[in-house]
Amino acid sequence: MKSDDLHNSIKKLKLKNVKIDHISKIGEGAWHDVYKIQRDFEDDIVLRIKKKKAYGQILEYDELDLITEYESSKAYYQQANQCSFDICPSFFKYFIDEELVFTVESFMGEGKPLQSLTNFEAYTIGKKLGEFFLVMHSKNPGIKGSGNLLWNGKHLEGNLQQNAYRVWQNDNDFYVSILNKLIATDLKIDRNTMVDKILNLIENRRNKQQNLSLVNQDVTPENIILNSDKVSLIDPFPTVDFDLKYAGYFIFCYKFLLPAYSTAPRYRNNAYDQNCSILSKIADGFTNGYIGENEIWLKCLKNECILWTLLETYDHYEILNKSELSYKTIQQMGSKNIINKRLTLCLKELESLCSTI
């Protein structure tokens, strides 16, 4: 980032009486540098300045993509706060031009690091998140269509303009197709038992269509203010997809995916593998908050975890068959050796989950 980007951002925001010692860098993701700005007699705010380079590549300026990204965040924040007061920033604006791109939003406080959470705190946080997502997923997304969000010049819409039934059946067809592709490989898969169970799971799933909701594809602890008194969500990656599917995704992430990715360069410093028991407690709390004692929903969430694990297995196999890995892939997933080891973990997890069906 250019040294004067921070100064120019403050200038464009027309913030007065903000001293240098009132500004502190509080984070750095793959795409943004993040600063907290303290203000006298006003609430603190967070400034996210878009980087010029990410994953070793210069980021090309694409106004439509940027508007889509930030309008999606705004839409998610607005609906989330309708479901649970102040769970997301209530103030959010963005500024875009070819020289400087940034957002500014409410400062949501400081959370605790994973390693400092007790099992009770982790469970409580998960339960609050489960209760929130249950309400969030029950709301009409207010966006025409489903899938990835796009800015059409006036408002957001999904890239899939099909009825929900067709989208649901296509979703099931997709899982069948990747399972069939994995069966045709030389991977060690229990074709007599595990495959039949997954196929049966998918066929039963077809008749239990889920609701389309505004869901968050990035539920990592980096984007959650972890505090048992007040849990907050920031920097979402919204899409319109099925509710139980993405409730299952949260559990899949916290029970398996995050610890499994601890060997990837992008996530090494997060120590997810060292805090896997805390992550698991968050997932347990989430399950309780989302479904309570509903045994039917519990089975559905377990099935969704199986399908997410199936997809992760397929993605790893596909990546390994590429002649070369991009710098971005290496940062996000690791070297071929690391990816191959994680593929083995995925297969073991898939077998373990299927054994409970």
Over residues 188-223, the pLDDT tens digits come to 888 778 899 999 999 999 999 999 999 999 999 999
What pLDDT digit, counting tens, does each position of 255-307 carry? Answer: 999 999 999 999 999 999 999 999 999 999 999 999 998 899 999 999 999 99
> Which residue shows structure tokens 């992760």?
312
Task: Tell whether 71 and 177 lie within a shared domain.
Answer: no
Task: Tell whether 221 and 92 lie within a shared domain.
Answer: no
The CATH number of whichever domain residue 46 belongs to comes to 3.30.200.20
pLDDT of residue 320: 96
As a whole number, the mean pLDDT across the chain is: 94
What pLDDT digit, counting tens, does each position of 114-141 carry? Answer: 999 999 999 999 999 999 999 999 999 9
d(C-alpha 37, C-alpha 44), whole Å: 6
Task: Tell whether 54 and 165 lie within a shared domain.
Answer: no
Question: For residue 3, what pLDDT band results from cuts at 50, 70 and 90?
Answer: low
d(C-alpha 355, C-alpha 357), whole Å: 6
Residue of 229, 191, 205, 233 lying closest to 76 (CA atoms)? 233
What is the arithmetic mean of pLDDT over 311-333? Answer: 96
Strands 101-106 and 224-225 come out as: unpaired
What pLDDT digit, counting tens, does each position of 143-157 carry? Answer: 999 999 999 999 999
Residue 262 counted as domain residue:
yes
Question: For residue 1, what pLDDT band results from cuts at 50, 70 and 90?
Answer: very low
Look up the pTM and report it. Answer: 0.95
Task: Tell whether 29 and 136 lie within a shared domain.
Answer: no
The CATH number of whichever domain residue 254 belongs to comes to 3.90.1200
Residue of 123, 59, 175 lying closest to 283 (CA atoms)? 123
Reading the block at residue 128, the tokens are 């609050």
On the question of pLDDT at 2 being above 70, the answer is no
Task: Tell whether 101 and 15 lie within a shared domain.
Answer: yes
Reading the block at residue 298, the tokens are 């519990």
Task: Tell whether 43 and 78 lie within a shared domain.
Answer: yes
Percentage, residues of the chain above pLDDT 70 = 98
Asked which of 43, 78, 106 is the last residue of a domain, the reply is 106
**Which run of H or of E encompasses 190?**
none
d(C-alpha 354, C-alpha 194), whole Å: 6
DSSP 8-state assignment for residue 153? S
pLDDT of residue 4: 83
What is the arithmetic mean of pLDDT over 30-43? Answer: 88
Residue 200 counted as domain residue:
yes
Residue 154 counted as domain residue:
no
Task: Tell whether 188 and 331 lie within a shared domain.
Answer: yes
pLDDT of residue 191: 78
Count the domains in the chain: 2
Task: Tell whether 235 and 270 lie within a shared domain.
Answer: yes
Inter-CA distances, 6 with 2, 13, 289, Å: 8, 11, 41
Task: Tell whether 308 and 226 lie within a shared domain.
Answer: yes
Asked which of 106, 139, 172 is the last residue of a domain, the reply is 106
pLDDT of residue 17: 67
Reading the block at residue 216, the tokens are 């968050």
Contact 129, 224 (CB under 8 A): yes
Task: Tell whether 98 and 122 lie within a shared domain.
Answer: no
Residue 156 counted as domain residue:
no
Strands 45-50 and 32-37 come out as: antiparallel
Task: Tell whether 126 and 98 lie within a shared domain.
Answer: no
DSSP 8-state assignment for residue 273? G
Residue 31 counted as domain residue:
yes
d(C-alpha 32, C-alpha 49), whole Å: 5
Task: Tell whether 305 and 170 lie within a shared domain.
Answer: yes
Residue 139 counted as domain residue:
yes
pLDDT of residue 215: 98
> Which contacts (CB < 8 Å, 24+ apart) does range 89-95 have?
89/46, 89/234, 91/43, 91/45, 94/66, 94/70, 95/9, 95/12, 95/13
d(C-alpha 84, C-alpha 202), whole Å: 33
Domain range for 99? 5-106
Q: How far apart are the first and last CA of the chain?
A: 51
Residue 178 counted as domain residue:
yes
